[in-house]
Structure formats: structure tokens, C-alpha cells
Amino acid sequence: MAESKTKKWYVVRSVSGQENKVKDYIEKEIAHQGLEDFVDQILVPTEKVIQIRNGKKINKERVYFPGYIMVQAALEGEVPHVIKGINGVIGFLGEVKGGDPVPLRKSEVNRMLGKVDELSVKEDNVVIPYTVGETIKVIDGPFNGFNGTIEKVNEEKRKLEVMVKIFGRKTPLELSYMQVEKI
């Protein structure tokens, strides 16, 4: 058969927290066995999240579907056995005992890949956790430690207009979401 093998998307279950390591193992093993023709891509869907630790912003990538790795492959011959035999792989999602792994439907693939694209495009998906009238504490910048009341929320710029009492006088400040926390 001269035509290329039909590749479908499958979900491989892995030990949670080891997704990227397992992805590397699969890639290395497929290359080692010379099975690259059978496997197109291996994805670990992640999202970018921002955490604040000690007042510092830390960009982190978090696995979006913990314990799941997407593999686009033609599961023929040795390929499923090679993948299943890899350290940290639990098996394929939707697999019946003794049966073949079940590929994802096109709609599911599009949804998952759409999610992957959407997550990588989305700058920082910090939900807008603030409302007007709420009291907050400034945790970053020159007014660190001051409390204030939210006057305005600007979602596009991810800024808050906060009224802070400084030396007995109310002073308006424009602060980013990252510079304040709820009390």
C-alpha cells in the first residue's frame, strides 16, 4: 500500500503529574523502534496560569487534562504494545479488555485541539475575581500593605481603580489584578 497510514487521535492514560515525562518516553521509544511513520504527534494539553508567590508573579503551565496524553497515530502492529509498555502509561482511554483502543471522534478531537489552541492563545486566564465596592489589600508596589475599596474594574486592561486612604486622605490608584488580593 503506497498511501500513508490513516492516523487517528487516541487518548493515552498516564500517571498524573508525569504527563510530559511519559510523552518524552513515548517519543523516544517510537524513534528507537523506528515507528515514526505510525505516530504523527503527541500532545499534553496545558494551560498557562499565573500564580502569585511571595508577591511575585510566576507563570506556570498546568496540565489541562491531568493523566491524559493525546496521541495521533495509526495503531497497527506493535505500536499499541510499544505505547502501553512505556513506563508511566496506564493504557488507552476507552479500551475494552482485550479490545482495541477507541479513537476520539472528530468533534472531540476538534474540541480538545481547539481547547489547546485557545489555552495557548489566551494570555493569562485569570478570572476577574473583583467587584466594585469590595475591600482589597494592596500586595505589590509602593502602596503594599494598604487597604482600599474598588471603585472601577477595567476587564480589558486587567486593572482596578482603587480608593486608598493614605495619611487620612482618599487617593485613587490604578492597580493591576496582580497587585491586590481580597481581604
pLDDT tens column, 107-142: 888 777 776 666 555 555 555 678 899 999 999 888
Does residue 108 or residue 68 have the better pLDDT?
A: 68
Give the three cell numbers for residue 138: 494592596
152-155, Cβ contacts within 8 angstroms, sequence gap of 24 or more:
153/128, 155/128
167: which residues sit within 8 A by CB, 6+ positions away? none
CATH top-level class for 135-182?
mainly beta
Domain ranges for the chain, please list them.
8-121, 135-182
Phi, psi of 17 (to 5 degrees): 90, -10
The model's pLDDT over 71-83, given as tens digits with 9 standing for 90+, comes to 999 999 899 999 9
Domains 8-121 and 135-182 share a fold: no
Yes or no: domain 8-121 corresponds to CATH 3.30.2010.10: no
Question: pTM of this prediction?
Answer: 0.58
126, 176 in Cβ contact below 8 A?
A: no
